[in-house]
Structure 1
Amino acid sequence: VQGAEALARWRHPTRGMIPPAEFIPVAEEIGLIGDIGTWILRAACVEASTWPHDITVAVNLSSVQLRDTSLPLTVLSALEESGLPASRLELEITESALMQDEALAFDTLQTLRAMGIRISMDDFGTGYSSLNYLRRFPFSKIKIDQSFIRHAPQDYECVAIIQAITTLASKLHMSVTVEGVETDEQRAFTIAEGCDQIQGYLISRPVDAASMRQFSREPSQKAA
């Protein structure tokens, strides 16, 4: 295991587990998404500080957070409070988040990269997939959306797209993570194509913090 992604889940006292697809839009509508995002960032850094020192944690940034000029200070505070080295934090950005204010996003991401934090382009291939973003912004990783591996290696078009993105990332000195890997056949395909990491149910379904601490210490032949 090389890293894990922090996912938000809401345990409601009467409705049970509420997925982010339901509560995140509401949080955005009432103006709480920034506070929730900051809480997730701090909690993820604290939790990751208990893992083995070679495992990173990835946290998604919303467009609201990316437009907040104090974001670098917020991230720095989370790192200092948790004791987590900047090199073990990865921030994931979608194209839609970049489009809100490209100039501000560029300055913010440059500052974060200068701090030693890794920046990933999340869900690549589902939005505009602007190659200009890859050229302009300081990404260290491309995460290929799970919709492409879902039909690979049988679907020729999906295979061709994964091959093209992997080659492009290599030329730009970026690593590649394939999201949504669920079978050994898909894993073998990603290895053959030179992808750096995989993420998906083949490695593990989402787990709580206590289970992740145990999982991170178990010997494994799989790279996640």
Structure 2
Amino acid sequence: AAQIKSGGFARSVISALAFSGLPASRLELEITETVMMDESDTVLRTLSQLRELGIRIALDDFGTGYSSLGYLRRFPVDKIKIDRSFIRDLDRRDTAAIVRTVIGLGIELGITVTAEGVETEAQLD
């Protein structure tokens, strides 16, 4: 969060891509909700700039912190990663409903959804 808010993060990523020769389209940066909490213009500008280069932005551990659906509207996010704690508790009716809802939300918004920690056929179903 501190790196992104500092204002030089995009330049650092661009430099690392140039040094490595990795195409921007092959890079996916995982950020947590704490990055978005202050909703600063610097964070929005940085994430937008990176996304314009073709870098994908993944929102990691979605639902475990200070989740706000407004983040999905305000910030450029390509992927939502559902935290494994939700997958581990899928046998609970309320947890299963949350996971189904987040997946449905991702589908409706055109955002890829990854569920971390799927290990059994039952969890996959």
User: Structure 1 length as normaliser, TM-score?
Assistant: 0.53
Find the counterpart in structure 2 of residue 93 from structure 1.
31
CA offsets 1:180-210 (integer angstroms, 9 cap, x no match): 2233332x32xxxxxxxxxxxxxxxxxxxxx
Return the match for 2:89 from 151, 158, 176: 151
Alignment correspondent of 2:101: 164
Q: Which amino acid aligns with 2:37?
A: M
Aligned mates of 2:118, 2:101 — CA distance in 1? 18
Shift of 1:143: 0.4
Q: Quick one: distance in 2 between partners of 1:104 and 1:81?
A: 25
What pairs with 1:207-218 in structure 2 (closer than 5 Å)? Answer: none
Closer, same or farther in 2 for the Cα pair 1:132/1:124, shift >3 Å? same
Uncovered stretches (5+) of structure 2, i.e. residues with no partner? none
- Summarize deviations over 1:18-50 as a string: whole Å, max 9, x none: xxxxxxxxxxxxxxxxxxxxxxxxxxxxxxxxx
3-state SS of the aligned residue for 2:114? strand
Q: Give the whole-Å Cα distance in 2 for the aligned partners of 1:102 and 1:141.
A: 21
Q: 1:101 to 1:168 in 2, by over 3 A?
A: closer
1:185 aligns with 2:122: yes
For the pair shown, the structure with the greater C-alpha radius of gyration is: 1
What amino acid is the match of 1:185? A
Higher relative contact order (CA 8 A, sep 6+): 2
Aligned residues: CA RMSD: 1.2
Q: Pick from 45, 64, 83: which aligns with 2:21?
A: 83
Are the aligned partners of 1:151 and 1:158 in contact in 2 as well (CA < 8 Å)? yes
**In structure 1, what residue type is equivalent to 2:15?**
S
Match of 2:6, SS state, is coil
Richer in helix (by share): 2
For 2:6 and 2:119, how far apart are their aligned partners in 1? Answer: 36
**Pairs within 5 Å for 1:47-196:** 63-100=1-38, 102-152=40-90, 154-186=91-123, 188-189=124-125
- Aligned equivalents of 1:170, 1:150: Cα separation in 2: 22
CA positional deviation for 1:94: 1.0
Alpha-carbon distance between aligned partners in 2 of 1:129 and 1:69, rounded to the nearest angstrom? 24
Aligned pair count reads 125
Q: Within 1, Cα distance between the matches of 2:25 and 2:118?
A: 25
What percentage of residue pairs aligned between the two structures are identical? 52
For structure 1, which runs of at least 5 residues remain unmatched after alignment? 1-62, 190-224
Whole-angstrom CA distance in 2 between matches of 1:145 and 1:98: 17
**Distance in 1 (alpha carbons) for counterparts of 2:37 and 2:97:** 27
- Name the amino acid aligned to 2:53: M
Query: Could you state the TM-score of these two structures normalised by the residue count of structure 2?
Result: 0.93
Q: Following TM superposition, by how much is the alpha carbon of 1:101 offset from its aligned partner in structure 2, in angstroms? A: 5.2
